[in-house]
Amino acid sequence: MSRDGAGRARRDEASVAAGPGAGPTAITPARGAPSGRVLLPWRTLPFPVDWEAVFGASGPLHVEVGFGDGRFTVRRALQEPRARFVGLEVSSGSVQRALRNVRRHGVTNVRVAKVGAEFALRHLFDRASVASIVVNFPDPWPKARHEKNRLLRPGFLRLAADRLVPGGEVRLATDHPDYLEFARANAAATGLYEELRPPPPPAVFETKYALKWREQGKPLHYVVFRYGGAPAPTFPHLERPTEMPHALLKGTLPASAELSKTVAEHGGGHVILHEAAAVMPGAGARGRWLVRATVDEPDLRQQLLVLVEQRQPDEVIVRLETFGDPIVTPAVRGAVHEVTEWLARGTDLEVAERNY
């Protein structure tokens, strides 16, 4: 597993660029990714994902968090060809290495997603749909003040129970005794799991980090938390909007306006407006600005562009740009709100309509 995987700050980064935008943009999520595509375009898919469409097959669905170079995932996929495996990772380097590993071995029952574990489990997977969740050598976050960053917190374990089938398992391998006890205590506190201590599958201790720790003489630990099927808290999926959030303002876009760095709380996260830039006009082009924003939420971080454009002689539109396939969350809607309020405060434009 990559030490930049489970438990680290979520760093889903969307590339941003300017593009034409005459008005509100409709969003039509695809039903499922092409069944042969290894890297999952999860931002374009409906929530929860239709995994049968993605794989082109049914079968037990297994999730691995922080898969590193993918060697454990590939080995399992080769041993269980009728099962389906989804690897979650936030490190771009690990994703690239895993993709090469999957293609080198010719496995067809693995999909890879560059996304944080908590967001993915909550929104990409349906209730009672996952057979196992594998967490091999997560970042232990050993300092007490960083404990909140550990993956196997009570909230995550409750979410996992909601997504696991009865009898499904959370399987943990770690070299860190404190993390082991942390996970055991949290699993017991939920009242949803039975703790098992089976012999680890040999491949677990042949991963990149397992080999490293074993060479250093560190003890390696393996524990399984089996979900017994008791009622678990429900975690709703994020609704996908049919069009991008936007606002309409009356008036004419001025030549410029001053924007100071703005930080505001929205939807349990933070919106940061960094800067605004005018788009170089083409022939017959109306005034267009792009505002660069960061939206930082507990399980997802996104870089965004918010478009400001003179749509009609007396009408300006503010809307989220579609480039980079941003995920529309409450805090992302907050970014559109903050840009709208900036224009209303700092220019002669008047808000006529809010659609966010």
Distance from CA of residue 280 to its chain's centroid? 33
- Neighbour tally for 291: CB within 10 Å: 24
| Residue scoring higher pLDDT (88 or 284) | 88
The CA distance from 39 to 126, in Å, is 20
Mean pLDDT of 23-36: 59
pLDDT in tens, 146-161: 999 999 999 999 999 9
Catalytic residue among 139, 162, 175, 299: 139
Strands 246-250 and 350-355: antiparallel
- DSSP character string of 24-39: --B----SS--TT-SB
Active site residue 175: no
Nearest 5°: phi and psi at 226?
-100, 125
pLDDT of residue 29: 56
Mean pLDDT of 123-151: 95
User: Residue 281 — pLDDT band, cuts 50, 70, 90?
Assistant: confident
User: Residue 6 — pLDDT band, cuts 50, 70, 90?
Assistant: very low
pLDDT of residue 120: 98
Please state whether the peptide bond connecting residue 48 to the residue before it is cis, i.e. omega within 30 degrees of 0.
Answer: yes
Which helix (H) or strand (E) segment holds residue 63: the answer is: strand 61-65
Query: How high does pLDDT run on average in the chain?
Result: 90
**Crossing angle for the helix pair 177-190 and 154-163, to the nearest 10 degrees:** 60
pLDDT of residue 285: 61
Instruction: For domain 42-227, say whether CATH 3.40.50.150 is its number.
Output: yes
Q: For the chain, what are the domain ranges?
A: 42-227, 246-355
